[in-house]
Amino acid sequence: MIDKLKKHFKLFIFLLLLLVPVSASVGTPRIFVNGYFVDSDADPVIEDGRTLVPVRIISEKLGYKVDWEESTKTVIISNESKNIKFTIGRNTYTDNEIEIPSDVGAKIINNRTMVPIRIIAEAFTQNVIWDNTNRVVVIGEGYQDQARSTCTFEASKVTSVIYGDTIEIDRGKGVEKLRFILVDSPETKDPRKQVEYYGKEASKFTTKWLEGRTIYLEKDVSETDKYGRLLRYVWLVKPGTDNPTEEEIASFMFNSYLLRDGYAVVAQFPPDIKYVEIFKTFEAYARNNNFGLYGVPISVGNELTEAPKEDPQAEALTEEDKKEEENNNILKNTPKKNNSKELAYKYANGRIIGNKNSMKYHMPYGRDYKKVYLKNAVFFDTEEEAIKAGYVRAKK
């Protein structure tokens, strides 16, 4: 009798669990502000049903001034017409000197001042949305309403991160390896190689954004690469349709963040080149601003404000002419004397370096990238250019 009761009780618990809604994604909430995901060293937290966010990064992303009064432990957020004050430990705030009660007040968590995001958004007439499926706090404009999306990209759970451009996923068919299309980030775990420059940072970036979360997978042409890894574009949230706009690619596709923030370079392997042209603009943006592996460490979520501009007079030049002119311009800025030992990377501005002696080209994170002498160097913007010029990629 007791055994039967135990069996019935276990069945009851199992059926009860089936009725409990489970979020499609786990992890701390992500923040989306006016067209882009942003991040800081302090994640949003949820208390009593209210989302608290790091005040400085949110307010400054929205263009507001932030001040701190140490004597009263008060944070002040303002623009030309509005002045909002939060005092730590009080469940009130002031809006243009009018005190208003709030369910949750400002707090200091892990040495960061956190405030209720809805209060800021509504005070400054900003749209605020909570996407529970993807656990995203949305402030401002530019986010795709997931309920209205007709996109059919396959949902999948990220189980682990291998490299910045390679992950393991579970889409209901067991754990599978997946390689991001059109991007190449430095490697960190290949036992045959040294850890490549900026590899740890790229892996950390992808881990922070993807591990344990639900993502959406877009196929190009090929199902897998020669190693059996799935080939996909990875989306943080679904775009409006299966034919995303350039704005949606910049806002929602993770591949674009890797390139724009300098954690990867464009890598072309036809026929999977659907987005190669817009990806080149993301790569150029990171290179021109010295982001990531191009020179200057950055935080995640850099916005693409303007595509790189080309010289109109350059249109009449052939590709060979353009390349020769670029290299000549670089050489003009190099030392005129005793430059036989000058290293090329100092003048490459993050571009690919070809070695005219070995006919090999070196990526910015490669082991020998900083070993090529300037007198032996030729510079390329893409791997495609290097290959067309007869160069082969260095193995390390």
Cα–chain-centroid distance for residue 64? Answer: 24
Q: Which residues pair with 291 in a beta bridge?
A: 296
The token pair at 249 is 């690619």
| 179 catalytic per annotation | yes
Cβ-based burial of 378 (10 A; exposed 0-12, middle 13-18, buried ≥19)? buried
Of residues 187, 248, 283, 383, which has the active-site annotation? 187
Q: What is the DSSP string of 130-179?
A: EETTTTEEEESS----GGG----PEEEEEEEEEETTEEEEESSSSEEEEE
Q: Which residues pair with 353 in a beta bridge?
A: 362, 379
Dihedral pair phi/psi, residue 244, rounded to 5°? -65, 150
CA distances from 6 to 11, 15, 18 (A): 9, 14, 19
CA dist., res. 306 & res. 75, Å (int) = 33
Of residues 229, 303, 367, 393, which has the active-site annotation? 229
* Contact between residue 199 and residue 186 where contact means Cβ atoms under 8 Å apart: yes
| 260 catalytic per annotation | no
Of residues 56, 112, 118, 179, which has the active-site annotation? 179
CA dist., res. 126 & res. 33, Å (int) = 10
The token pair at 361 is 């080209």
CA dist., res. 184 & res. 349, Å (int) = 18
| 393 catalytic per annotation | no
Sole residue written with tokens 């956190």: 114
Query: CB count, 10 Å around CB of 211?
Result: 15
CA dist., res. 48 & res. 338, Å (int) = 68
Catalytic sites, residue numbers: 179, 187, 229
